[in-house]
């Protein structure tokens, strides 16, 4: 067999084609492997993005839900506040509209008498005027429970009640004492047509008191000299670290005596013809309800509930009390509760 140049060329071309095919197949294999890896990476990225999308969407949904609940609770709170005020005003309206029947006005007076205190003449003067200005009022009952206080505010209320009593003689003015009507409390009560109390109630204390102490000797004992400058010899007569002169003492006693006389005159006016003339009732002594009946300080023994169910059973009770805003009442209750808890905590320790 003989080989020609043409045969060598063909053989060479076949070898080259064979090597090229192998190279192409290797490249295709590499490309397929690379594409497979890229596909896997893309799939994992897509899956990760999908998870992130789900998480973000869930977060957005939760935020929207939370926002909706916040809006809901805000509306609920607003409706509650509006409901409280509407109910409060509605109660006043219902109370006003219920006065078409004949009524007995009840004015509770409880606590200390004075400006800004439990029984403030400015507040109670308005309540008394309101009670008497209502045409349905057929009787006025004051529920008294006071140890006294300011002679000024006591005198103002006494005078106002005496005026109403004289101007409205057809409307009985009655005071019912619970625990006590002492000092200024009795000052006010004496303006009534009738006064009633329990047999153990404390009544009277028709007197005036001024308290203080003299600590001038204490300063001398500890080597302290008091320096006090005044214009007017009696300007600092109640200073506890200075001795009171006899002149200042006499003048201050005259003030107390004058106030006491005003108290006595008011009681005599209000209880005219009822007081026991044989007993000195104006020493400042307090008496039980049982004693007070015998001395003419009160008219009998009774209590509010019994009086309303018997004597005034045909009248509708209407209470006249100082109005206080609801939020102030809540704040006061919270303050009392907090103070009580603190006191209990420290007392237990």
Map tokens 């009732």 to a residue.
281
User: Has residue 241 been placed in a domain?
Assistant: no
Residues 119 and 87 in one domain: no
User: Has residue 112 been placed in a domain?
Assistant: yes
Residues 156 and 168 in one domain: yes
User: Has residue 296 been placed in a domain?
Assistant: yes
> How does pLDDT run across 223-268, given as a tens digit for each residue?
888 888 889 888 888 888 888 889 988 999 999 999 999 999 999 9
Residue pair 159/126 in contact by the 8 Å Cβ criterion: no
- Cβ neighbours of residue 140 closer than 8 Å, sequence gap 6 or more: 104, 105, 107, 128, 131, 132, 164, 171, 172, 173, 174
Q: What is the mean pLDDT of the chain?
A: 81
Q: What's the domain count of the chain?
A: 2
Q: How confident is the model at residue 20 (pLDDT cuts 50, 70, 90)?
A: low
Which pLDDT score is estimated for 93? 47
User: Has residue 17 been placed in a domain?
Assistant: no
Residues 75 and 191 in one domain: no
User: Has residue 156 been placed in a domain?
Assistant: yes
pTM for the full model?
Answer: 0.67
Residues 90 and 157 in one domain: no
User: Has residue 317 been placed in a domain?
Assistant: yes
Of 78, 100, 122, which closes a domain? Answer: 100
User: Has residue 233 been placed in a domain?
Assistant: no
Residues 172 and 281 in one domain: yes
Residues 191 and 51 in one domain: no
Which residues constitute the domain of residue 39?
A: 32-100
Of 59, 79, 100, which closes a domain? Answer: 100
Which pLDDT score is estimated for 131? 95
3-state helix, strand, coil in the chain (%, to 5): 55, 15, 30
Residues 110 and 142 in one domain: yes
- pLDDT greater than 70 at residue 346: no
> How does pLDDT run across 168-189, given as a tens digit for each residue?
999 999 999 999 999 999 999 9
User: Has residue 255 been placed in a domain?
Assistant: no
Residues 94 and 108 in one domain: no
Q: How far apart are CA 229 and CA 27, in angstroms?
A: 115
Residues 92 and 111 in one domain: no
Of 67, 100, 133, which closes a domain? Answer: 100
The domain spanning residue 291 has which CATH number? Answer: 3.90.226.10
Q: How far apart are CA 289 and CA 302, in angstroms?
A: 10
What number of H helices and E strands is found in the chain?
A: 9, 8
In Å, what is the CA distance from 93 to each residue of 96, 99, 100? 5, 10, 12
> How does pLDDT run across 119-164, given as a tens digit for each residue?
999 999 999 999 999 999 999 999 999 999 999 999 999 999 999 9
Residues 312 and 164 in one domain: yes
Residues 107 and 160 in one domain: yes
Mean pLDDT of 78-84: 72
79 against 212, higher pLDDT: 212
* Residue 279 neighbours by CB distance under 10 Å: 15
Residues 195 and 286 in one domain: yes
């Amino acid at each position: 067999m003989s080989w020609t140049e043409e045969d060598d060329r063909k053989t060479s071309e076949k070898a080259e084609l064979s090597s090229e095919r192998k190279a192409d197949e290797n490249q295709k294999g590499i490309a397929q492997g690379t594409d497979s890896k890229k596909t896997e990476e893309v799939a994992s990225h897509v899956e990760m993005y999908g998870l992130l999308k789900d998480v973000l969407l869930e977060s957005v949904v939760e935020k929207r839900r939370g926002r909706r609940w916040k809006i809901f609770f805000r509306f609920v709170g607003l409706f509650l506040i509006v409901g409280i005020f509407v109910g409060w005003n509605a109660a006043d309206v219902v109370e006003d509209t219920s006065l078409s029947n004949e009524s007995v006005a009840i004015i509770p007076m409880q606590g200390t008498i004075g400006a800004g205190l439990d029984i403030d003449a400015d507040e109670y003067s308005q309540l008394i005027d309101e009670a008497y200005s209502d045409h349905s009022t057929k009787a006025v009952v004051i529920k008294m429970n006071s140890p006294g206080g300011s002679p000024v505010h006591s005198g103002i209320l006494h005078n106002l009640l005496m005026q109403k009593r004289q101007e409205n003689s057809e409307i009985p003015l009655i005071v019912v004492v619970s625990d006590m009507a002492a000092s200024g409390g009795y000052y006010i009560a004496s303006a009534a047509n009738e006064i009633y109390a329990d047999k153990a109630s404390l009544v009277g204390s028709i007197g005036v008191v001024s308290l203080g102490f003299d600590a001038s000797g204490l300063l001398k004992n500890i080597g302290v000299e008091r320096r006090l400058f005044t214009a007017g010899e009696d300007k600092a007569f109640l200073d506890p670290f200075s001795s009171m002169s006899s002149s200042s003492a006499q003048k201050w006693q005259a003030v107390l005596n004058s106030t006491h006389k005003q108290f006595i005159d008011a009681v005599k006016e209000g209880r005219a013809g009822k007081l026991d003339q044989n007993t000195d009732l104006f020493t400042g002594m307090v008496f039980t309800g049982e004693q007070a009946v015998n001395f003419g300080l009160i008219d009998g023994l009774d209590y509010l509930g019994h009086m309303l169910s018997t004597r005034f059973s045909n009248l509708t009770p209407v209470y006249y009390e100082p109005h206080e805003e609801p939020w102030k009442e809540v704040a006061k209750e919270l303050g009392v509760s907090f103070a009580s808890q603190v006191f209990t905590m420290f007392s237990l320790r």
